[in-house]
Structure 1
Amino acid sequence: MSAHGTAEHDAAERREAARALLRHPVLTKARHGEELALVRRHAPALKKMFSAVLGYHLVVEASFARLVKDAPSTDAPPRPAQRRGGQPFAPRTYAYLALVCAGLLQTAGREQVLLGTLVEQVRADAAIAGIAMDDSLTDRRHLVQAIALLLDWGVLSETDGSVTAWGDRHEEALLEVNRTLLTHVLARPLGDVDTAEELLERGGRTAAEQARRALRRRLVENPLVRREDLTAEEQHVLSRERADLSRTLADHFGLTLEVRQEGALAYDVDGDLTDVAFPGQGTVAHVALLLVNALVDDLDGGPGATAEVDGRAVPGLLAPWAAVSDAVHLLVEQYGATFAEAFATDPEYLQAEVVTRLEELSLARRTPAGLVLHPACARYQPEPQRAPRRTPAPAAPAGGPDAAGPDAQQSLFPLQEDR
């Protein structure tokens, strides 16, 4: 292989390793052997790249790799930890996760710990912290969910017995602790942090450097970046440094940048970087797509429509809550026989889940007056059938108004590209 071919091969491997870390910020030898081997092979270059491009810190050890991310922006869509069934963590589950990690740190020097002993330590720490904790089935389930997350991350492994059996029947279990990985669970020490604002502070960088990294993080982590959410410095980078930004995202992560008047996104042609697919499988995803189409058709705000969010006018279409409710009830009436029973019998519950899904995708924002749909919702409308051309149409410029987005749909927004 030529030197050029070797360089291209190495770049492709680094890109695949970076994508693996974005999908799974904790890679373990037991669960992600091939991906971890790739990360270890290119560890120096990946550490340098993640630090320079996104401001992230990469820890690589023999048995794991941990991508320590910076705090998300305050306007980022929610990305809660999830139970194995897909439901988001409750506040109590997060509290138990913190208590379990603290309890494991207090068993330093032991590579294995009995689950019963760990639970006793957690309950003692909870009492000191003033957190009410009992032995009810509900409380045990929260505790099991917190421990299950550490099992999924590879911080803990079940040597004898299971955490689930303890939660159901109080059966003992022996757990093995990866103490090196345990120390990297938290993104930063919290001893000097008293408020959420302090946790989100980013110091030590110039305004220009911070804007570039913040914008890259938004594009890599979020499904859609709204222009109104960008700082003046970030908007300057998006407008004046677009070519460099596009090249960086493509070279390091295999992402394609699309920019429009209302915002931007970096989409993945392969479709394996997203954690929330849309359109997707399941009742909530299907109804979300049908609801968006129904509201856009019924309300028809037209190009340039705006709505008020937090006292400012933003691009979008306001769907009053009554219209949202009517549309959901109609969808249940029309298609409810194909929905999961919990949703078919409870339209209000279905509506709440659908609105949450649209917010996770940055396609909508809830306000007291109703649901504000972002103009990007128009990309998901069915396209009319067109007669075939007699001669091939000329190719559109890359990234232009007719550029294909993910899922072979038309470009992100129905409006002209921002120049």
Structure 2
Amino acid sequence: MRVISMPHGTTIQHETAERRLAARILLANPVLTLHRHPDDLAVVRRHSAALRSTFAKLLSYHLIVETSFARLVKTPPSPDSPLRPVQRGDSPFFTPQTYALFSLACAALLTPGTGEWLLISSLVEQIRADAASAGVELRNTPAENRRLVQAVGLLIDWGVLTETDGSLSAWSERHEEGVLQIHRPLLPHVLPRPLRNVASLADLAAQLPSGGSEPRRSLRRRLVENPLVKREELPEDERDVLSRERSELTRLLEEHFGLTLEVRAEGALAYDTEGTLSDVAYPGPGTVRQAALLLTDALTDLGRPTAGHHAPGTGADVPGLMTPWDTVRSELDTLASRHARAWAGAYVADPARLQKEVVALLESMSLARSLPEGLVLHAAAARYRPEPHAQPTRAARRLGDARPDRAGAPSEALFTESFLGEAL
């Protein structure tokens, strides 16, 4: 048999690309199991030593890799990060009660004497008993039962539980019994840290690690985790790192995570040209995303802000465009009427719901902030304005959206001008 050797450089490039792919897989899916993600887990295990070092050194993340699972434990988000509640499919976002039920479900599975297999009804009974002991009110109502199903369902999604006979949905809808298999090796690592000796939120806060002492790591985390890093919200030491070490930041983010760094006067973002890393697609298909994109364009046309524009009442150092709520509602109504045939009827018929979800999407992307007197658009919202004479990017075509936008366009250089400067 003849062996064909490959150039040494090609092998190194392949290893680097595969290691970067493994890091991206973990950022998008912090819990991988052999049962649900066999190919992804194989890539992560192949590069586990390098990945542990990379995540610890660059982001202060802790990576656990075993034969049957991998778990990336992230640090707590910064206080100014946008809220990202858990959501399973089209179900409602997790509420504080749902998170409490999730923790109770983990505790129930760790109860001494619990075997590898468990009836769904037995798990629910244990959760209810633990809730009563902990003083957590858990009523037998349809709303509470839906939250309970969401909490247990997340454990199934993550591979901690496997439906082997029957299903959680069948139990929820018709109370048909089902059997769950427990993934014992993964279970202790589901929660980022044990909740022993925690009697209050203050106790929990005291146990959380603080990453603020190392500005390089904390800035890298912001850029990797957040859709937009606002300059006015950065501590002075992180602002200094962004200014002085921009080239090194650019190299590290691209080399290890495949992210492109873009820096402007109002802030910075590290975006993914492949469009596969984020859990929130924007711009993208669907009524809410389309309405959000068109609304920001309409409000920018009305306000005509320029570089250095600041929203009144938010402080001289906060860039943005303030629009009263009446105007926001009026513009959305106009858009809904204009696109009534293309948009989902439920949103066209319920303007209040459309506005609520559009604003929530923009806030989750750090592109807007709600105030009592109106909506404040950040200057970075101008980044997504249409360019009528440009060609669609590959990312836009992949989303099925013929409208070109600069969100998917690769950045070949670092920008220090305003987000608004180029868009207008």
Q: How high is the TM-score relative to the length of structure 2?
A: 0.89
Q: Give 2:143's aligned amino acid.
A: T
Structure 2 partner of 1:408: 409
1:258 alignment partner, one of 262, 287, 303: 262
Is residue 225 of structure 1 aligned with residue 229 of structure 2? yes
1:215 alignment partner, one of 203, 207, 219: 219
8 A contact 1:308–1:314 mirrored in 2: no
Structure 1 partner of 2:81: 76
State the 1:7 CA deviation.
Answer: 1.7
Is residue 377 of structure 1 aligned with residue 378 of structure 2? no
1:27 alignment partner, one of 9, 12, 32: 32
Q: Deviations over 1:287-346 (max 9, x none)?
A: 000100110001112221101566564011111111111111111222223222221111
Distance in 1 between residues matched to 2:207 and 2:332, nearest whole Å = 37
Q: Give 2:326's aligned amino acid.
A: A
Q: Give 1:64's aligned amino acid.
A: F
Structure 2 partner of 1:175: 180
Q: Deviations over 1:12-35 (max 9, x none)?
A: 111000000011011111221111
How do 1:57-72 residues align onto structure 2 when only pairs under 5 Å count? 57-72=62-77
8 A contact 1:257–1:267 mirrored in 2: yes
Secondary structure of the corresponding residue to residue 183 of structure 1: helix
Distance in 2 between residues matched to 1:295 and 1:379, nearest whole Å = 14
290-299 or 310-319, which deviates more: 310-319
Distance in 1 between residues matched to 2:99 and 2:327, nearest whole Å = 35
Distance in 2 between residues matched to 1:84 and 1:20, nearest whole Å = 19
Distance in 2 between residues matched to 1:362 and 1:307, nearest whole Å = 15
State the 1:383 CA deviation.
Answer: 2.1
Structure 2 partner of 1:195: 201
Distance in 2 between residues matched to 1:78 and 1:198, nearest whole Å = 17
Distance in 1 between residues matched to 2:288 and 2:170, nearest whole Å = 31
8 A contact 1:307–1:313 mirrored in 2: no
- Say if 1:249 and 1:200 are closer, same or farther in 2 by CA, change over 3 A: farther
Structure 2 partner of 1:351: 355
Structure 2 partner of 1:40: 45
- Say if 1:200 and 1:413 are closer, same or farther in 2 by CA, change over 3 A: farther
Structure 2 runs not aligned, ≥5 long: 1-5, 391-404
Is residue 50 of structure 1 aligned with residue 51 of structure 2? no
- Say if 1:287 and 1:215 are closer, same or farther in 2 by CA, change over 3 A: same
Distance in 2 between residues matched to 1:252 and 1:206, nearest whole Å = 22
State the 1:96 CA deviation.
Answer: 1.2
Distance in 1 between residues matched to 2:341 and 2:138, nearest whole Å = 41
State the 1:246 CA deviation.
Answer: 0.9
State the 1:67 CA deviation.
Answer: 0.4
Is residue 242 of structure 1 aligned with residue 246 of structure 2? yes
Structure 1 partner of 2:367: 363
Cα RMSD (Å) of the superposition? 2.2
8 A contact 2:384–2:406 mirrored in 1: no
State the 1:215 CA deviation.
Answer: 0.6
Is residue 134 of structure 1 aligned with residue 139 of structure 2? yes
State the 1:86 CA deviation.
Answer: 4.8
8 A contact 1:261–1:415 mirrored in 2: no
Structure 2 partner of 1:335: 339
8 A contact 1:18–1:253 mirrored in 2: yes
8 A contact 1:161–1:171 mirrored in 2: yes
State the 1:378 CA deviation.
Answer: 1.2
State the 1:122 CA deviation.
Answer: 0.7
325-334 or 407-416, which deviates more: 407-416
Distance in 2 between residues matched to 1:269 and 1:349, nearest whole Å = 31
State the 1:109 CA deviation.
Answer: 5.0
Q: Give 1:290's aligned amino acid.
A: L
Structure 1 partner of 2:394: none
Q: Deviations over 1:47-73 (max 9, x none)?
A: 011000000000001111100000001
Q: Give 1:154's aligned amino acid.
A: G
Secondary structure of the corresponding residue to residue 176 of structure 1: strand
Structure 1 partner of 2:395: none
- Say if 1:87 and 1:175 are closer, same or farther in 2 by CA, change over 3 A: same
How do 1:307-322 residues align onto structure 2 when only pairs under 5 Å count? 307-308=311-312, 313-322=317-326
Secondary structure of the corresponding residue to residue 371 of structure 1: strand
Structure 2 partner of 1:323: 327
Distance in 1 between residues matched to 2:207 and 2:318, nearest whole Å = 25
Structure 1 runs not aligned, ≥5 long: 387-403
184-193 or 290-299, which deviates more: 184-193
Distance in 2 between residues matched to 1:199 and 1:251, nearest whole Å = 35
- Say if 1:309 and 1:106 are closer, same or farther in 2 by CA, change over 3 A: farther
Structure 1 partner of 2:282: 278
Secondary structure of the corresponding residue to residue 337 of structure 1: coil
Distance in 2 between residues matched to 1:213 and 1:379, nearest whole Å = 26
Secondary structure of the corresponding residue to residue 318 of structure 2: strand
Structure 2 partner of 1:114: 119
Q: Give 1:371's aligned amino acid.
A: L
Runs of 4+ in 1 over 3 A off after TM superposition: 199-203, 308-313, 409-412
Question: How many corresponding residue pairs?
Answer: 397
State the 1:384 CA deviation.
Answer: 4.3
8 A contact 1:260–1:415 mirrored in 2: no
5-14 or 191-200, which deviates more: 191-200
State the 1:134 CA deviation.
Answer: 2.8
